[in-house]
Structure 1
Amino acid sequence: MAPSSHIAVLAFPFGSHPIPMLNLVKRIAASAPENVNFSFFCTPESNKSYFSGAKGDEEFANIKAYSVWDGVPKDHLFSGNSQLERIGLFLNATPGNFEMAMKEAEQETGVKICCLLTDAFLGFAGDLAEKIGVPWVPFWTSGSCSLAAHLYTDEIRKLASTTERTIGMIPGMEGLSIGDMPREILLTNEQSPIALLLYNVALNLPRATAVVVNSFEELDPAISLDLKPRFKNYLNISPFHSIAAQHNDECLEWLRKQDDASVVYIGFGSVSIPSPNEMVALAEALETCKFPFLWSLRDHARKSLPAGFIDGTSGFGKLVSWAPQMEVLASGKVGVFVSHGGWNSVLESISFGVPMICRPFFGDHGLNGAMVEVKWRIGLRVEDGIFTKNETVNAIKLILSGEKGKEIKENAQLLKGLATDAVKPNGSSARNFQELLKVITKSS
């Protein structure tokens, strides 16, 4: 059947952003009519990671990747923070790089693009959708709490200029502090290109045909109630994790031999690594506690571990260079997840009822950690945001064997139940996903 609908998917190629975007597109593509095709636009490096031709990709024959220029001039030499520089160069190349690739996709398919499904960070997309006369559907890949924080940027900045430190103006986030807010909110737009980007995103999102959020309404009901009237369609559609068949992975084999809810799982994502001093403190805490642990740690970061740590903990701990995180959290063996507090990790932890210890690094990590400890009460934050041996020992013991840990585990299980209910056939996220399908498919 010849395609009659052509959806352009515009990804933000940094951090973990492309992963939930591609997962969402695969889910839509599996549910949409056969004549709906998707062109996925991202940088060559990202596309190479996610469209490798691996087994299983053939079931998504209606998704094709197209490369957009990353904005880096030939022979460019990076200095200082190369990640921030890469983001700046990429943003400077937009929207022209996307428009060029979109024309290529239209010429190749012979079908005009009829809808823009984009990462919400791509603030130009609203103007681009208006220019070509199609609906704009931005996807906020983080939680509703961080979306609310950015929508309240002006109010938070005004509060920050006073002596008051407690956030009180955002429903569902009462009791959090100014220091819990993402750093970009507290910067002036002239100080950071990311701050300016996010400020403009917050201004532009109400123009969208629908705003899609990587969360579920029951997690933050007061926030959902506050945000719904701000948008034409406010659609929380998660969690929608898909767990592959458990392959014979060494860490999964090791996990199967452990008692239920007994393991400390440590994983800081693909970008964040604690300082050498913190690595030592965390390692010494694990060695002292003697709870079984699984640590996903890339080989180059192991040089910061104390001498003899790996051999000394081999009887109860396991280090791997990569772990299939969803399978690990879904195993029932993990009693606490020590994490950077990135949204994907938080949402996965909630979905599988696993308590958390959060050590934030950047972006929404601090806010997510505050929600984990203060609002949802499903875990703890590392004191002062830095691992120390004694505090880490206390935090692990509190969750795995302390009285307060029982309450934290109960709360985690309650949220797991709400997440499970949200994606059932008549659950809130399932209904919102059907509404999203209508918005996208009727655009043709």
Structure 2
Amino acid sequence: MEKRTNEKRVILFPLPLQGCINPMLQLATILFSRGFSITIIHTRFNAPKSSDHPLFTFLQMADGLSETQTQSPDLLLKLTLLNENCEKPLRECLAKLLKPDSDSETEQEKISCLIDDSGWTFTQSVAESFNLPRFVLCAYKFTFFLGHLLVPQLRRHGFLPFPDSEAEDLVPEFPPLRKKDLSRIMGTSSQMEMLDSYLVKILESTKPASGIIVMSCQELDQDSLAESHKVFNFPIFPIGPSHIHDVPASSSSLFEPDQSCIPWLDNQETKSVIYVSLGSIVTMSESEFLEIAFGLRNTDLAFLWVVRPGSVQGRDWIESLPVGFMESLDGKGKIVKWAPQLDVLAHRATGGFLTHNGWNSTLESICEGVPMISLPFVWDQMLNARFISEVWRIGIHLEGRIERREIERAVRRVMVDSEGEEIQARIKVLQDEVRRSVKRGGSSSRSLDDLVNRILSF
């Protein structure tokens, strides 16, 4: 990718989570292709690999997290600490970048704006102190972004918590979630106060921004985008799935993918492999891990399974598998520590995806036309799974049932039964609609043009 410049520089500040780093660096690549110079400010914790993006400038700042805190499974606590610790270091970074310096390569470049993740709650005031326009990157489905910001209001009005946390009833204020989904999203009562405070801060810090950049499109988020004016009075830019824009692909994985997946897939029949990956954060018990293992084996179908080291509680990796388990598969199963997911989903051999339904994984599966089996664990995954199974009808919801017979049944429904053919037909239609959106003249392409023009106007 040859470097071009319009003498404008954009600063991007990702939240240090895999699901947030991916879209931020993909957005950086898109903006670079439109002529902007790119500076990435990032924390020491989960620092992106600068060597994967040699044409960007990377600035690492202190984040104040101890080694113990970086290993904590409490994500809300981690985000709270990051927001408490990072304001001063970010301010110092921006001051250095904005200070005239005759030796600086950016001497002739005007810094146009700051783009940061919605999970940062202090950045609006910092940007304002430098008179720097700020855009918020929404790494969720926009339906979830709008809905989850209103949860504290629902709680104040007495709608939460629900008396029956396992209720199947729909939540009218947050469709198509069910009450049991929202109860899982909101966590335990001891977490409610901290979560409410965090969500209120996100809303308050987003409203004064110059706009929201959404990694979705009209075709996936039409209703929520139409409702957005009730909450926000600034432009919203649904630029579509960032990874399918016509720009060179680049890696932003925090884990080293096992490239042996691809030659293994090359040896499998077309649409014969179920791909299994539960993302970069989810953990499971040893018994849940074994239920998935036996469920996959019992299908007698080929599977490629990503088991992230440390994702099985109390175990390093897959040592819980019975002796001889892999040999009993007769070559039909492959387990890796991490996979090049985009390549796997695009491979002709991949016929289904058992997923946690993080938004990046959901988008990637839609864009490659791969039907999904939904096993959501936390946060926006619940909503994404409902859209998959009940709105778009392009997959099957396991409803949290991690049991070998349920796993086997779901895989067979998608991969073998006639129901899978119907799901495949529906996801192919949605795939085509979403991919058209980023082509010249499509809804996402027009939105990206609007975003670029807006940044250039500063």
Which TM-score band (shorter chain)? Answer: 0.7 to 0.9
**Percent identity of equivalent pairs:** 26
Q: Is the 8 A contact 1:189 1:199 kept in 2?
A: no
Mapped to 1, the partners of 2:380 and 2:218 lie a distance apart of 19
Q: How does 1:341-380 map to 2 (within 5 A)?
A: 341-380=357-396
Structure 2 counterpart of 1:10, from 10, 13, 33: 13
Letter of the structure 1 residue corresponding to residue 89 of structure 2:
N
Residue equivalent to 2:408: 393
TM-score scaled by length of structure 2: 0.85
Cα distance, 1:21–1:394 mapped onto 2, change above 3 Å:
same
Alignment of 1:247-396 (within 5 A): 249-298=259-308, 300-383=316-399, 385-396=400-411
> How has the CA–CA distance of structure 1 residues 381 and 348 changed in structure 2, closer, same or farther, with 3 Å as cutoff?
same
Letter in 2 for 1:304: S
Q: Per-residue deviation at 1:196?
A: 2.2
Deviation (angstroms), 1:427:
0.7
- Residue 105 of structure 1 corresponds to 97
Count of paired positions: 428
Write the deviation string for residues 267-308 of structure 1: whole angstroms up to 9, x where unpaired: 122222322111111111111111111112245321232332
Question: What CA distance in whole angstroms lies between the structure 2 residues aligned with 1:245 and 1:332?
Answer: 21
Indicate which of 70, 74, 90 corresponds to 2:63: 70
Distance 1:101 1:188, change over 3 A: farther
1:82-107 C-alpha deviation (Å, 9 max, x unpaired):
65544332211132121011122234
| Paired AA for residue 123 in structure 1 | T
Secondary structure class of the residue paired with 2:207: helix
Q: Deviations over 1:57-85 (max 9, x none)?
A: 34x2xx21111211226x87789646554
TM-superposed deviation, 1:227:
1.7
The answer to whether the 8 Å contact 1:189/1:195 transfers is: no
Report whether the alignment pairs 1:22 with 2:42. Answer: no
Measured in 1, the distance between the counterparts of 2:88 and 2:79 equals 15
* Aligned mates of 2:121, 2:179 — CA distance in 1: 25
Residues in 1 aligned to 2:366 and 2:413: alpha-carbon distance in whole angstroms = 19
Match of 1:198 in 2: 199
Aligned position for 1:233: 235
Q: CA deviation at 1:182?
A: 7.4
Identify the residue that residue 160 of structure 1 maps to in structure 2.
160
Distance 2:19 2:342 in 1: 15
Q: Do 1:120 and 1:201's aligned partners in 2 also have CA atoms closer than 8 Å?
A: yes
- Secondary structure of the corresponding residue to residue 305 of structure 2: strand
> What is the CA distance between 1:147 and its match in structure 2?
0.9
Q: Distance between the aligned counterparts of 1:438 and 1:181, measured in 2?
A: 38
Q: Verify: 1:115 aligned to 2:131, yes or no.
A: no
Correspondence list, 1:29-108, <5 A: 29-32=32-35, 36-47=36-47, 49-51=48-50, 53-54=51-52, 57-58=53-54, 60=55, 63-72=56-65, 81=73, 83-107=75-99, 108=104
The amino acid across from 2:266 in the alignment is R
Q: CA deviation at 1:370?
A: 1.7
Asked if 2 retains the 8 angstrom alpha-carbon contact of 1:182 and 1:363, the reply is no
For residues 326 and 308 of structure 2, the distance between their equivalents in structure 1, rounded to whole angstroms, comes to 14
TM-align CA RMSD: 2.9
Alpha carbons of structure 1 residues 188 and 102: separation in structure 2 relative to 1, 3 Å? farther
Displacement of 1:148 after TM fit? 2.2
Q: TM-score, normalised by structure 1?
A: 0.87
Name the residue aligned to 1:144: 142
Report the 3-state secondary structure (helix = DSSP H, G, I; strand = E; otherwise coil) of the residue aligned with 2:59. strand
Partner-residue secondary structure (3-state), 2:9: strand
Aligned residue for 1:285, secondary structure, equals: helix
Partner of 1:424: 439
Q: What corresponds to 1:125 in structure 2?
A: 123
Q: CA deviation at 1:21?
A: 0.5
CA contact 1:356–1:378 (8 Å) conserved in 2: yes
Inter-CA distance 217–228: structure 2 relative to 1 (3 Å threshold):
farther
Task: Say which is worse superposed, 112-121 or 274-283, in terms of deviation.
Answer: 112-121
Q: Residues 7-44 of structure 1, C-alpha deviation per residue, up to 9 Å, x if partnerless?
A: 22122112421121011011111112xxx432211113
C-alpha distance in 1 between matches for 2:406 and 2:59: 48
